[in-house]
Each structure stands twice: as structure tokens, then as C-alpha cells.
Chain A
């Protein structure tokens, strides 16, 4: 009953399919109602273009204590000082390169799912070599953004002083990630954890994203499997023509806008049987490690790439859900 009431507005039902996710006390007969990412016609592709086609490493973040949108400039200043201090200690940065690092912290109000969500916060580190002239171009060397898309399940349970931005996405060198991470941890008493994506969730992504309509010619759907228990690591890459994949998914999915575990299983089983027929290999005994479709690609180590701006929010909704599961 709870599921039906929260149906088309909230994405959050994927957690009922997560093996160790939040317990909702539902029997396995209830259909799971996660929505495939819906195309956002009113999304401004210009504003989100810088997020596309970059590899983002995912983290889950516990709620931030006493974080305020009004103090972003101050945070930038403090973080900048922190980075400079770390450099002095010799802890920062790439060896042998003397860089002047500038920090910018800004808000991305258009990246949210519902009004209850916190606006996304973007942190960018740029550098300029001190040797070059004052007005020369700064080079962006590191980006990280916190966001929360349809994270009502978390934010409604959290006391007043806390800000919920459970998903953190990073692009850039690990050394900067750890410095920025430590600063946030110290300042807002939060903690970061790498977000891993299980093969079960990757199969969901494969099914969900295959069903999404894409304007231009879609790229092939690719699944990468890692074969266990071999002396030398072996990866199997299985590429499927996007139209074939979509046609298969369309025959499997019963109700548009709803996806249930059985449908994902049937979809994947069809792909596995097809492969077995040709190669006599049981892909179901291997570990699915990466899924690439036209709208996004995801790796089990918690790495994502967004490829279509109109589905950005939809994918973020799923990732927010995963991050919340990991926190709880």
C-alpha cells in the first residue's frame, strides 16, 4: 500500500530490490515501482554539459552538520587556506609542480529532484602556475559535487541542523579528493565512503537505461563481466546492438514506467542464454562489472559517466538512492 501511494512521484522503490537495503516490510509479491529515468524536456543542456562525458567516482556522504548555502564563499576561502597549509606540510599535490590553487564553491540549484532536496553544491579547484601572468587562464584540475535527488527518505528523518547531500561525485586526482574530503569531514562532521555498485544493481541499470528513448543513434549497449577463479584475470565484453536490446526490453516490460525484479531477470537471462548458445559460457556464473548504454555507463567500483543531459536527473535519483542505502 505504501508503494502504491508513493508511486509515480518518487523513485525510491529500488531499495526493495536491494538485497541488504532498507527493510520496508513488503512481501516479494508487491511490484517494485522504480521509474526508468524520464527524459527531462525542460532541462537546460547548457548548464549540465560540463557534467557529461566525464568519469565521476562516487561516494556516499553522511549528512553535513551546520552547512549553509549562504556561506559558500567563506567555505571556498577556508578550503583554500587548508589546501595551502597541507601543501606547506608537504602533503599535497603532485611532486615537482608548484601550483597556485584556487577554490570555487558554488550552488547548482537546478540539480535536484523535489523541492525538499538540497541544491547541489559544486567544488572546483583550478590552478595557475605562478610563473604565468596574472590574467592567464586558470586550468580546472579537480571537480567534486554533492547532490541529493529525491532523497526524501533520508532528509525527513534527519534533525534540523543537518544538510542531506548523500551523493558525492569526483573527477580529478586522488590527492585533492582526500584533502577536500578531510576538510569537509573536519568542518561538517560527516564521513565519506566509496560507493560500490553490485552486479544486481548494474543489471537494473542495464535494463532501465536500455528502455530510455534516445534522440540520436544510440551507441551499442556493452556489458563487461569478470571471470572469477582463474589464474589470470579474464574479462568478457558483450556488446549488443542498442535497437535489439531495446526491442528485447520492450517485450519484457509489462507496464511502462514501472520495472520489477522479474522483468530485469528475464531480460538478463535472455542475454545470457543468447551468449551461452554461441559461446557455451555461462555469464550468470561471472561477475557483471560494467554496464554501458547510450544514456550512461557505470562500473562496479562506483564510477559513473553521464552521456545524456535529459536523463541526468533520473540517473542521479538512482545513485542518490544507492548512496542513502549505503549510509543507512
Chain B
């Protein structure tokens, strides 16, 4: 399900399936996309931040188009204890690889992978921060 911002329109609530993973997309070329994501984060229930949220940052192939500061993105990942994935969605190879990663994460978040839960994402994050 794709949305340009949160909250999702309430009219379709009853038709919507359970949400297992929220991926926020930030385009490094657009400061606006970062602001949009920051505003939308407020509408996500706290329980999602136990591994069911991730940040997808695209546009990293082109440094010279950069309008968003890297530190701001890293901070976001740290503050919300959620992984930050970098990709270049305009490149087909990266598109496919990113989709595969997200799918794998989604399988885990939905509980389809025995022995691994979404909580492992958060604990992975915390280990890195402690280093």
C-alpha cells in the first residue's frame, strides 16, 4: 500500500489489511520528502517502532543533487530506533535488490519466518549504537 503522507484516510480503515511494516521513503534530492516523513512519523503508533518501521533513502547515487544532510537521516534512524536502507531506485539493479530486502524484512515482521521476530531489527540497531 502506498501513501504520500500519514495519516491514512480513515474512510478505508475497515478495508485495510493488517500493517506489518512501514517503510518511509526519503529522496535525498528533496528536502521536502524529509520534512514530509518527519511530519508523518507522528501518526505512527509506538508499537511499530519495535522493528516494524524502516527508512528507505533513495537518490544516493548522485552526490551532486544532495539536498538532504546525511546527519539528519542518521539521527532519524537513531531517534526512532529503526534501520535506514540506502538505495538508488532509479537504477534497476538497486530497485530489485531493495525490493528483495524489503520483502525479507516484511516476511519477518509478519511472523512468517520461524525463530526471527521484528524485534531483532531494533536490537541490531542498538548494538551498532553501543559500538
Contacts and interface: CB of A to CB of B under 8 A. Distances in A.
A198 B60 CA distance: 12
Contacts of A199: 29, 65-67
Contacts of A285: 30-33
Contact of A198 (B30, B65, B74, B75): B65
A200 B35 contact: no
Interface string B48-70: 00000000000000011111111
A282 interface: yes
Interface string A273-289: 00000000010111110
A195 B33 CA distance: 26
Contacts of A268: 31
Contact of B32 (A197, A284, A300): A284
B47 interface: no
Contacts, number: 54
Interface string A257-278: 0000100010010000000000
A53 B97 CA distance: 48
Nearest to B31: A284
Nearest to A288: B67
Interface string A1-38: 00000000000000001011000000010000000000
Given A284-B35, A285-B33, A198 B69 contact: no
A128 to B, nearest CB: 40
Nearest to B64: A196
A228 interface: yes
B127 interface: no
A200 B67 contact: yes
A221 to B, nearest CB: 18
A28 B74 contact: yes
A261 B69 contact: yes
Interface residues of B, number: 19
A17 B71 CA distance: 8
Contacts of A198: 63-67
Nearest to B30: A285
B119 to A, nearest CB: 26
Contacts of B31: 268, 284-285
A20 B73 CA distance: 13
Max chain B Cβ within 10 angstroms of own Cβ: one of A28, A197, A203: A28
B46 to A, nearest CB: 24
Given A199-B67, A200-B66, 13 more contacts: A20-B70, A196-B63, A198-B64, A198-B67, A199-B29, A203-B67, A265-B69, A284-B30, A284-B31, A284-B32, A285-B30, A285-B33, A287-B67
Interface of A: 17, 19-20, 28, 196-200, 203, 228, 261, 265, 268, 282, 284-288, 300
8 residue pairs, one from A and one from B, having the closest CB atoms: A285-B32, A196-B64, A284-B31, A284-B32, A19-B70, A28-B71, A199-B67, A198-B66
8 contacts: A17-B69, A19-B66, A28-B71, A200-B69, A261-B72, A284-B32, A284-B35, A288-B67
